[in-house]
Amino acid sequence: MSDFADLTDEDAWEAVMRRDRAFDGQFVTGVFSTGIYCRPSCAARHPVRKNVRFFADGDAAQGAGLRACKRCKPDDVARDEAAVLSAIHAIKQHEGRVTLDHLAQRTGYSPAHFQRVFKRATGMSPAIYSRALREDRARDALTHANTVSDAVYDAGFEAPSRFYDAMEGKLGMQASDWSKGGAGISVHWSVVDTSLGAMLVAATDKGVCCLSFNEGENELRARFPKAELVVGGDAFEKLLTQIVQAVKQPASNNEHIPLDVKGTAFQQRCWQALRQIPAGETRSYGEQAAMLGNPKASRAVGSANGANNIAVLIPCHRVVPASGGVGGYAYGPEIKAELLKREGNR
């Protein structure tokens, strides 16, 4: 941000031509043909250059006999900034759930005028800004795996849809109490060679808790820091045989393999939605979000898919970008592409 004294008339004129908001408050544009002065970003029709003189502020322009433009209210720049900052503070404090009327009232502007002021400063309406904030909150809640599931809904999302209510408990997913890093839980594990590379499989007595590629004990330890890690085991070996088969033929029905998931309620909803996508088909992130009753939550859904510990059996590989291609995958796009190919995609 430069000072008026450092600005050439040329720079100022270019800022006016661009209606550059960044220069609001740094100078005003005096227009002698109309007798008014404007902020640089004024949306009114541009004046003719020869009628224009620039002033440091409204006082100086008034000293030259000009009066403030009623449209852009050049003397309100500071007040507008304060109003927008105060509104942003209120929106954050109320987690994105505060009405335009309430915001306007706080600032002393009419709702319509405040909406314009806010949009001019941030590029979005207060409603869009609030929603973006809620989505960011949701994403933050999701990246911190141990946050309480309901944080997602506290962040402003709707309650889960009937889709989830109907599916709950029907998909062989259980969850151990992972809240203490897995303390008191035994995790049996092994790494086996497969045509997709080294595959790490781990399970508790409730079911498979991890299936990943090109990982070993260190990565497993990072996922379940306080669990007791046990190599192999009789019951585990039986399960392992089924899993190796499932990975060879990911299109086969794997629903009989029990899963022990570790995630927030929202993440579990996302994973159950994944298990509803038939082999041989794919969905976009937006479509998966729609399955959960909120088509706009595609970013939150993408994060939840990324937090999935159980590849293949919870088929996050069946979600691909709407724009085409296989998209990202925790274990590399080659493995994702190969899984899709084995299921008959492309």
- So which residues are the catalytic ones? 38, 316
Nearer to Zn ion, 16 or 42 (CB): 42
- Rounded to a whole number of angstroms, the distance between the first and last alpha carbons of the chain is 53
Nearest to 153 by CA among 16, 309, 267: 267
Residues 68-87 that bind Zn ion (CB under 5 A): 69, 71-72
Cα–Cα distance, 231 to 217 (Å, whole number): 10
Query: What value, to the nearest 5°, has the Cα angle with vertex 141 and ends 139 and 142?
Result: 65
Residues 85-144 that bind Zn ion (CB under 5 A): none
Q: Which two tokens stand for residue 22?
A: 């960044």
Q: Is 67 in the site for Zn ion (CB under 5 A)?
A: no
Query: Which range of residues in 33-41, 85-93, 226-234, 281-289 is near Zn ion by CB under 5 A?
Result: 33-41
The H or E element that residue 322 is part of is none
Nearer to Zn ion, 38 or 319 (CB): 38
Cα–Cα distance, 297 to 86 (Å, whole number): 27
CB of 67 to Zn ion, least distance (A): 11
CB of 88 to Zn ion, least distance (A): 25
Q: Give Cα 242 distance to the centre of its chain.
A: 36
Nearer to Zn ion, 34 or 115 (CB): 34
Query: Which range of residues in 15-23, 30-38, 175-183, 234-242 is near Zn ion by CB under 5 A?
Result: 30-38
Query: Which range of residues in 36-44, 160-168, 280-288, 299-307 is near Zn ion by CB under 5 A?
Result: 36-44
CB of 114 to Zn ion, least distance (A): 18
Nearer to Zn ion, 34 or 345 (CB): 34
Of these, 12, 15, 16, 38, which contacts Zn ion (CB under 5 A)? Answer: 38
CB of 83 to Zn ion, least distance (A): 18
Nearest to 186 by CA among 233, 239, 256: 233
CB of 39 to Zn ion, least distance (A): 6
**Rounded to 5 degrees, what are φ and ψ at 37?**
-125, 150
How many amino acids of this chain bind Zn ion (CB under 5 A)? 6
Q: Are 342 and 251 in contact (CB under 8 A)?
A: yes
Nearer to Zn ion, 36 or 291 (CB): 36
Q: Which two tokens stand for residue 164?
A: 């989830």
The crossing angle, in degrees rounded to 10, of helices 298-306 and 126-143 is: 10
Q: Which two tokens stand for residue 342?
A: 């084995």
Query: Which range of residues in 64-72, 160-168, 201-209, 234-242 is near Zn ion by CB under 5 A?
Result: 64-72
What residue ranges bind Zn ion (CB under 5 A)?
38, 42, 44, 69, 71-72
